[in-house]
Amino acid sequence: MLFATTIFFALLACGSFALPAHSSTPHLHAHSRYEVDSNWDQGAVNQYPIHASCNHTETTQLRKALAELEALAEHAAAHVLRWGNSSEIYRKYFGDAPSAPVIGNFERVVNGDKARTLFRCDDPDGNCQIPTYGGHWRGENGTDETVICPRSYATRRPLSQVCALGYNVAEWPTNTYFASDLLHRVYHMPAISEWYVDHYTEDYQEVIEMAQHNNSYSVHDSDTLQYFALEAYAHDIVVPGTGCPGPASSASSGTSSVAPAMSSSASASSTSAAPMSSTASSAMSSMTSAPATPVQQYASSTLSIPPGCHTHANGELHCE
Ligand SMILES: *[C@@H]1O[C@H](CO)[C@@H](O)[C@H](O)[C@H]1NC(C)=O
Ligand SMILES: *[C@@H]1O[C@H](CO)[C@@H](O)[C@H](O)[C@H]1NC(C)=O
Ligand SMILES: *[C@@H]1O[C@H](CO)[C@@H](O)[C@H](O)[C@H]1NC(C)=O
Ligand SMILES: *[C@@H]1O[C@H](CO)[C@@H](O)[C@H](O)[C@H]1NC(C)=O
């Protein structure tokens, strides 16, 4: 024992062993006293609740997808915190808009209270019977609830497949990945969106254009946030320094020499890999409050669009 103690002090003296520098600072002692005494966040719901209607395999998939949702959103916020508008990716999606709303809209997905959110797997409104549906926000039938239909469990990809199987950000729908699909879905729930994140664009081209001409909306546009999160994740995590942005938009610009996010390879990318035709999306003329214009996939269904809902280019129903 004495021997060990001697060794310990010898190491300490050599500087090869150090106690945590903060271990005896009065400030941290004071801080921990508050932690013990106050219990300020009693009742916090830190995990997205999953309804009992989800079976074992659905619950397992949803848990993984929700963990990926948080990883995606967390990285998006981290990218913005690190680079701000010196990021070429940032400027592509948000122009010179201040970054605080962007950071906040991702942060709430990760660390916001989840009490008023719910993912369910039954089909209380019957919308899962529409063949193209991966899920839907319940709108007036359950403002805090989202239904995830069986189709999602069969088709939505994991983030490990970002930049694989033909995917690129510009040409593929944001709901290709379960995580980015869920990002869209949590932004319909007011606990996460605060009714601030909403749909102001219909397709990638509009997202890029909005960043250049109307970016006070970009920072709370659901699709912009989804595209940005995917591109930042692809560029920083999946294929470092390259990502898979897809063909550069004709509307895109960006000339900063300090940008960490280079997109020089974008113009060399194929333009033929898109699974979604861009004409399908340009056929969409309605937005949040004009459900009267059906898109191709939806028009093939015999069901009508519920009040307060609209469809996107990929046939998904979004209820406001
Ligand atoms: C970046 O943001 C700063 C304010 O923080 C602003 O002055 C500057 O013009 C912005 N740069 C670009 C390229 O948007
Ligand atoms: C759970 O539901 C899915 C449909 O989403 C179904 O394919 C699967 O077989 C079910 N799993 C179990 C264990 O019942
Ligand atoms: C900006 O976008 C919003 C939402 O789509 C729209 O209402 C507004 O007219 C746009 N403003 C400009 C200047 O384009
Ligand atoms: C709400 O419920 C009604 C009645 O079941 C249904 O007609 C309507 O489509 C539902 N709304 C949504 C957004 O699913």
Residue of 56, 58, 62, 156 with the most ligand 2 atoms within 8 Å of its CB, for mutation: 58
Whole-number Cα distances in Å, 69 to 35, 76, 108, 182: 29, 11, 12, 6
Q: Under DSSP, is residue 27 helix (H, G, I), strand (E, B) or coil? A: helix
Query: Is residue 217 predicted with pLDDT exceeding 80?
Result: yes
Counting residues of the chain whose pLDDT is more than 70, the rounded percentage is 66
Beta bridge partners of 221: 198
- The CATH class, in words, for 56-319 is alpha beta
Instruction: Identify which of 100, 78, 101, 80 has the alpha carbon closest to the alpha carbon of residue 90.
Output: 80
Compute the average pLDDT of residues 6-12.
Answer: 41
Using CA atoms, how far residue 80 sits from 56, 73, 172, 240, in Å, is 36, 11, 23, 16
Q: For atom 9 of ligand 4, which residue has the closest CA? A: 306
Residues contacting 12, CB < 8 A, separation 6+: 18, 19
Q: Do 185 and 156 contact (CB within 8 A), yes or no? A: no
In angstroms, what is the span from residue 307 Cα to ligand 4's centroid?
8
177 DSSP assignment: B
178 CA from centroid of ligand 3 (Å): 30
85 Cα nearest atom in ligand 1: 1
Find the 171 Cα to ligand 2 centroid distance in Å. 31
For 101, counting Cβ atoms within 10 Å of its Cβ (0-12 exposed, 13-18 middle, 19+ buried), the class is: middle
Q: State the ligand closest to the CA atom of 153.
A: 2
- Ramachandran region of residue 110, left (φ > 0), alpha (ψ -120 to 50) or beta? alpha
The encoded tokens of residue 316 equal 């998904």
Q: How many CA atoms lie within 13 A of 68 on its CB side?
A: 22
Backbone angles phi, psi at 135, to 5 degrees: 160, 175
> Pocket of ligand 2, candidates 50, 56, 57, 119: which has the most ligand atoms within 8 Å of its Cβ, to mutate?
57
For ligand 1, say whether the CB of 85 is within 6 Å of any of its atoms: yes
For the residues 208-220, what does the mean pLDDT come to?
Answer: 98
Q: Looking at residues 188-215, what average pLDDT do you find?
A: 98
Which ligand number lies closest to the CA of residue 57?
2
| Ligand 3 near 196 CB (within 6 A) | no
Interval 46-93: pLDDT, tens: 999 999 999 999 999 999 999 999 999 999 999 999 999 999 999 999
Question: Which residue lies with its CA nearest to atom 12 of ligand 1?
Answer: 96
Strands 145-148 and 317-319: unpaired
Q: What is the per-residue pLDDT across 87-146, written as a single tens digit (0 to 9) for each?
A: 999 999 999 999 999 999 999 999 999 999 999 999 999 999 999 999 999 999 999 999
Q: Any idea of the CA torsion for 146, 147, 153, 154, to the nearest 10 degrees?
A: -130
